[in-house]
């Protein structure tokens, strides 16, 4: 049998493991921070009609600039943004990859604050960018002073701030992002994959874009929009950032089907986002329920809760799995992450936790 070691693989990919969140058909999947509420049926019909209408034109390449979609994203985000401020790709993972292709690469560094999104190091190795990991402060928080100090020490080409942070859910205050930007010599990415679940007290970094051409705010339709399967991510930034990304994107990277589906979903953003409040409520139920059982949930501005106080994460994972519930072991001793589900899913999780505790 040929093994990977037998192939002339790039040296910096040797010994790496691919992204590997388990995909198992369980009744209650709360492990990859999806929106478990699904797409409203009326919206689904409109998306189908829009995608169907685009099929007749599939003999042609799609609009390489996806201008209509960019305009729709700008309208959705507000903040005075226009189509020129927007870029999009097949999931925000691809948006982040394009940013690293344009601004990272051999001899360059990406700085992040761990524990954080597990794809950042993988995107770094895929683009031959050096991943520099510094730890978050106690309780996984990040202050402006700390960010400014670490960034001044590391002088990275790119900084990525995950806000709210995956896997810990920690919100990030605008002052901290401001301080990070001032200290950073290069690009600052604020990954706002979960922004729609944030509490109003923590505004989006979109507010900081004017006058900050090195700042990129990355977003996705995968979470609040319940559109993970469609693979649509996007960013807002100074228009010059799109000029840079055009140099590395594949031509026609957003298919006509994707563009049609995303535009249809955006037309129904109110209906698509109607469940966000409910999900926030389920998140609060999880935090309160876990606290009552003696676990330590951390503050969360996202659709998931990170909690400590687990004696044996492998065992808890298995015990829940046997009950048809999938949550996430991030590899941090004593800690696990659970996504807020529907009311019934959240109850199933909390009931199981309570039964296992007694």
Is 66 a binding residue for ligand PMP by CB under 6 A? The answer is no
Cβ(50)–Cβ(243) below 8 Å: no
**Contact pick of 33, 198, 259, 303 for ligand PMP (by CB under 6 A):** 33
Cβ(128)–Cβ(105) below 8 Å: yes
Query: Can you tell me the distance from the alpha carbon of 212 to that of 190, in angstroms, rounded to the nearest whole number?
Result: 13
Is 162 a binding residue for ligand PMP by CB under 6 A? The answer is yes
Select the span of 58-66, 86-94, 135-143, 288-296 touching ligand PMP (CB under 6 A).
Answer: 86-94
Is 123 a binding residue for ligand PMP by CB under 6 A? The answer is no
Query: Can you tell me the distance from the alpha carbon of 158 to that of 40, in angstroms, rounded to the nearest whole number?
Result: 38
Is 85 a binding residue for ligand PMP by CB under 6 A? The answer is no
Select the span of 8-16, 91-99, 247-255, 290-298 touching ligand PMP (CB under 6 A).
Answer: 91-99
- Residue in the shown chain whose Cβ atom is closest to ligand PMP: 91
- Pairing of β 130-135 and β 109-114: parallel
Is 166 a binding residue for ligand PMP by CB under 6 A? The answer is yes
**Residues binding ligand PMP: what is the number (CB under 6 A)?**
13
**Contact pick of 233, 289, 297, 301 for ligand PMP (by CB under 6 A):** 233
Identity of the residue, 224 or 352, whose beta carbon is nearer to ligand PMP in the bound complex: 224
Identity of the residue, 93 or 313, whose beta carbon is nearer to ligand PMP in the bound complex: 93
Is 330 a binding residue for ligand PMP by CB under 6 A? The answer is no
- Token digits for 298? 């951390």
Least distance CB 355 / ligand PMP (angstroms): 29
- Token digits for 37? 């509420």
- Token digits for 307? 């909690």
Of the candidates 88, 101, 70, 81, the one whose C-alpha atom is nearest the C-alpha of residue 238 is 81
Is 93 a binding residue for ligand PMP by CB under 6 A? The answer is yes
Cβ(155)–Cβ(135) below 8 Å: no
Least distance CB 173 / ligand PMP (angstroms): 18
Cβ(218)–Cβ(233) below 8 Å: yes
Q: How wide is the angle at C-alpha 234 spanned by C-alphas 232 and 237, nearest 5°?
A: 175
Identity of the residue, 171 or 233, whose beta carbon is nearer to ligand PMP in the bound complex: 233
Of the candidates 211, 186, 221, the one whose C-alpha atom is nearest the C-alpha of residue 94 is 221
- Pairing of β 304-308 and β 336-339: antiparallel
| Dihedral sign from CA coordinates of 104, 110, 116, 120 | positive
Identity of the residue, 92 or 313, whose beta carbon is nearer to ligand PMP in the bound complex: 92
Identity of the residue, 92 or 259, whose beta carbon is nearer to ligand PMP in the bound complex: 92
Identity of the residue, 122 or 242, whose beta carbon is nearer to ligand PMP in the bound complex: 122
Is 332 a binding residue for ligand PMP by CB under 6 A? The answer is no
Is 193 a binding residue for ligand PMP by CB under 6 A? The answer is yes
**Chain residues 236-295 in contact with ligand PMP, contact rule CB under 6 A:** none
Q: How wide is the angle at C-alpha 72 spanned by C-alphas 67 and 74, nearest 5°?
A: 95
Is 339 a binding residue for ligand PMP by CB under 6 A? The answer is no
**Contact pick of 62, 91, 104, 297 for ligand PMP (by CB under 6 A):** 91
Least distance CB 25 / ligand PMP (angstroms): 19
**Contact pick of 73, 87, 117, 304 for ligand PMP (by CB under 6 A):** 117
Query: Can you tell me the distance from the alpha carbon of 194 to that of 162, in angstroms, rounded to the nearest whole number?
Result: 9
Cβ(268)–Cβ(75) below 8 Å: no
State how far the alpha carbon of 336 is from the alpha carbons of 9, 304, 310, 333, 339, in Å: 34, 10, 8, 8, 10
Judged by the rule CB under 6 A, the positions of this chain that interact with ligand PMP are: 33, 91-93, 117, 162, 166, 191, 193, 220, 222, 228, 233
């Amino acid at each position: 049998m040929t093994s990977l070691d037998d192939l002339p693989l790039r040296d910096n990919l040797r010994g790496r493991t691919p992204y590997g969140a388990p995909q198992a058909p369980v009744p209650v999947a709360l492990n990859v921070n999806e929106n478990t509420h699904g797409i409203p049926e009326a919206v689904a019909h409109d998306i189908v009609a829009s995608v169907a209408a685009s099929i007749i034109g599939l003999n042609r390449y799609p609009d390489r600039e996806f201008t209509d979609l960019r305009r729709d994203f700008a309208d959705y985000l507000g903040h005075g943004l226009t189509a020129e401020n927007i870029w999009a790709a097949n999931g925000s993972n691809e948006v982040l990859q394009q940013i690293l292709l344009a601004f990272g690469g051999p001899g360059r560094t990406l700085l992040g604050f761990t524990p954080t999104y597990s794809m950042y190091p993988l995107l770094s190795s895929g683009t031959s960018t050096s991943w520099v990991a510094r730890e978050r402060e106690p309780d996984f928080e990040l202050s402006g002073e700390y960010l400014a100090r670490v960034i001044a020490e590391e002088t990275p080409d790119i900084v990525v701030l995950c806000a709210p942070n995956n896997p810990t859910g920690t919100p990030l205050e605008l002052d901290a992002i401001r301080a990070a930007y001032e200290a950073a010599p290069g690009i600052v990415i604020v990954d706002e994959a979960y922004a729609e679940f944030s509490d109003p007290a923590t505004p989006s970094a979109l507010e900081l874009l004017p006058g900050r051409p090195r700042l990129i705010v990355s977003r996705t339709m995968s979470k609040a929009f319940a559109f993970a399967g469609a693979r649509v991510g996007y960013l807002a930034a100074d228009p010059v950032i799109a000029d840079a990304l055009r140099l590395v994107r594949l031509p026609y990277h957003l298919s006509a089907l994707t563009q049609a589906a995303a535009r249809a979903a955006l037309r129904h953003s109110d209906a698509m986002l109607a469940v966000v409040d409910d999900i926030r409520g389920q998140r609060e139920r999880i935090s309160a329920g876990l606290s009552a059982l003696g676990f330590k949930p951390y503050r969360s501005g996202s659709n998931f809760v990170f909690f400590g106080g687990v004696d044996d994460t492998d065992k808890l994972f298995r015990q829940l799995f046997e009950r048809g519930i999938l949550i996430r072991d991030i590899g941090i001793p004593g800690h696990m992450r659970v996504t807020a589900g529907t009311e019934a899913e959240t109850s199933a999780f909390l009931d199981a936790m309570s039964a296992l505790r007694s």
